[in-house]
Amino acid sequence: MAEIKKRLVRLGGLTLARLIRHVANSSQVIHEPPDLMDRLSDAHPCIVACWHGQFMMIATLRPEDVRISAMVARHGDAEIISETLQAIDVQLIRGAGAGWRKKDRGGAAALRASLQALSEGSSLVMTADVPPGPARVAGAGIITIARMSGRPIVPVALATKRFASFDTWSRLTINLPYSKLAAVVGEPIHVPSTADDELLESKRVELETALNTATLRAYELAGADIKRATPLDVLAAASAPSPGLVLKTYRAGTAALRPAVPLLLNMRGQQGKEDPNRRGERLGFAGRPRPAGQVVWVHAASVGETNAILPLIDSLLDANPHIHILLTTGTKTSAEIAAHRLPPRALHQYVPLDVPHYVARFLDHWKPSISIFTESDIWPNLILGTAERGIPLVLVNARMSPRSISRWRKYAAVGRPLFSRFAAVLSQNSQITRAMKRLGAPNVITAGNLKIDSPPPPVNADLLAALKNAVGQRPLFLAASTHPGEDTVIAAAHSLMRREIEGLLTIIVPRHPERGGGLAASLGGLGLRTQLRSRSSTPETDTEIYVADTIGELGTFYSMSPVSLVGGSLVEHGGQNPIEAVRLGSCVLTGPFTHNFRDAYAALFREGGAVEVRSSDDIARQVTLLLADQAAAKRMRQGADVALQSMGGALAKTLGAIQPLLEKQRA
């Protein structure tokens, strides 16, 4: 099988090499400048730079008696390219820069080989942008080679009137024969060996600009449509594309299903998920009159997003005394938090269901000046309907799990018309920034996580005093924001710990309080003396598990608990916010699934401010250690504080991006 694959790859390479020769021989060739070949010869040995996906015909720009080497990645997809280049007498340098990825792609070896090739009189051909993107953004590697070798970079672009292109990250282009072939060469770019970081960045931007200029000119000379060869995310960032078939079908489908919405709301109401007194808000009817002046619409899906956005709401109101804030959420628990914590000049409504008619009714009443969406709650009709009215959209604290990034890549044709309509996207980390750019967002800023800058959840002093009085000196362990599948692990850990820790009280705060009754019943069935907070205000002296099935009290429980397991992490949910526990002085344990807060946990682990546990045995061991060893617990809290200090700043960056849009709308 391996031999057959090798032969097929070689055959593919030879076929592509024949196509390259055929395109060159059968096409009308235009050079700009006319002495292009002489200029390449004069610059030899040089670094010939092109964009990824636009490299097919580069090797045909070869002055007589000039040796050429090309840098080719080591991955399997590059094998055909390697065979092709060898067939047209181009020497190979295997390896490529890692870009943002940590995986070794042979970059160091390729750098050494490139410098040696240039020193031995061979010109080097390489793409300026690094897989897997962003496309048409020059990387630092090519600038480094120019600095270390002392050889100039020559930007080159080729285009044919007839070509085929594919929706890859770089918009791979296959040039076709019997065409007009245009080749454009820019001025050589020299990078001094003494260049500092500022000058290196300047040269990188200069190369990027020169390559874009040369590419545009080559397509103009060839009489070809450059949009067909431009990466779709780049096109989307420049001009938001119209919704495609999938989005049109979704919009039509949600409109057609409108008669079924009352049935859906009835079902959700029976499950306790809808507020019957405010049902009209889900249909787009306003529950409050619109305040005069500018209204800034902020949307947050549920409790976590609401807590994250509250400091931004405070900051926006402080900086803009003339505005009002409309906060929409989709859950009863988040509505209760809003009722208690929203400041003056801010009001809450339930977000309308994503039905075009309801969205239009909502927007007709509130007429927001700007709309701010939070994290990953992307609703097509809300976004498209808002954008159609010329209302600027901002996505803050943007979050995507690795699985979501893969899914959005697969369905980029759906994502691009949505994300390209955001005037600004503030992402939690650089990986999400790259994903957003791949989806056509035109202005993406890596701001960090707003939840890092959020104040801790409120602590009820009266409740805290009552709980401490009831608990007394009993050792205490908290399992916070737990999800189904985690509670049995925690119960098993409690059973292990109570053998060594006399009088241990474990408090479980389920992420969704409605699970409290069933949870208490199942734990009681395991022989554990269990109480519900909704039925008993404080735990009794013989209570082993206290289930806090209430809303808005997590801060109080964190503040009294020396050790807390932050839930959503023992199952593949992705973890809940560990910063709340850190700010209230509790040592943090977490399961292995933390991708929702990857950056926060990376900093905590780096500073020894959190410990990963994978089983009930792990939990029992770590809790027993931290309750017994106060010095170890203190070191852990100190490490968490150091990590916290290193992660701040998202709120200021987010406010800085939103404020100009607000001022523009006011004008």
Contact 219, 159 (CB under 8 A): yes
- Give me the CATH number covering residue 563: 3.40.50.2000
Same domain, 655 and 601: no
Same domain, 214 and 301: no
pLDDT tens digits along 473-508: 999 999 999 999 999 999 999 999 999 999 999 999
Q: Between 542 and 665, whose confidence is greater?
A: 542
Q: In the predicted model, is pLDDT for residue 70 greater than 90?
A: no
b/e per residue 256-269 (b: at least 16 CB within 10 A): eeeeebeeebeeee
Q: Which two tokens stand for residue 274?
A: 């809808």
Average pLDDT, the chain: 92
Percent of the chain whose predicted confidence (pLDDT) is above 70: 97
Same domain, 468 and 580: yes
480: domain range? 461-647
Residues 6+ apart with CB under 8 A from 462: none
Residues 6+ apart with CB under 8 A from 35: none
Same domain, 573 and 444: no
- Report DSSP letters for 149-176, one per residue: H-PPEEEEEEEESSEEE--STT--EEE-
CA distance linking residue 431 with residue 252, whole number of Å: 34
Calculate helix-pair angle for 650-666, 303-319, nearest 10 degrees.
60
How many structural domains are present in the chain?
3
Same domain, 656 and 610: no
* Domain assignment present for 67: yes
CA distance linking residue 657 with residue 667, whole number of Å: 17
Q: How large is the average pLDDT for residues 429-450? A: 92
Q: How large is the average pLDDT for residues 573-591? A: 95
Helix (H, G, I), strand (E, B) or coil at 178: coil
* pLDDT computed for residue 103 by the predictor: 52
Same domain, 578 and 658: no
Residue 100: which pLDDT band, with cuts at 50, 70 and 90? very low
pLDDT tens digits along 274-304: 999 999 999 999 999 999 999 999 999 988 8
- Which among 274, 305, 544, 607 is annotated as catalytic? 305
Residue 365: which pLDDT band, with cuts at 50, 70 and 90? very high
Same domain, 638 and 654: no
536-539 — which CB contacts under 8 Å span 24+ positions?
537/466, 538/466, 538/467, 538/469, 538/470, 538/471, 539/467, 539/470, 539/471, 539/505, 539/507
Q: How large is the average pLDDT for residues 608-625? A: 96
Percent of the chain whose predicted confidence (pLDDT) is above 90: 76
Q: What is the CA radius of gyration of the chain?
A: 30
CA distance linking residue 293 with residue 326, whole number of Å: 12
Same domain, 379 and 492: no
Residues 6+ apart with CB under 8 A from 64: none
Q: In the predicted model, is pLDDT for residue 349 greater than 70?
A: yes
Same domain, 128 and 199: yes
Per the annotation, the verdict on 572 as an active-site residue is no
Residue 667: which pLDDT band, with cuts at 50, 70 and 90? low
Neighbours of 423 (CB within 10 A): 20
Chain centroid offset of residue 41 CA: 45
Same domain, 40 and 103: yes
Q: In the predicted model, is pLDDT for residue 188 greater than 70?
A: yes
Helix (H, G, I), strand (E, B) or coil at 615: coil
Contact 640, 610 (CB under 8 A): yes
Same domain, 176 and 254: no
Q: Please indicate, yes or no, whether the overall pTM of this predicted structure exceeds 0.75.
A: yes
Same domain, 95 and 147: yes
CA angle 168-171-172, nearest 5°? Answer: 90
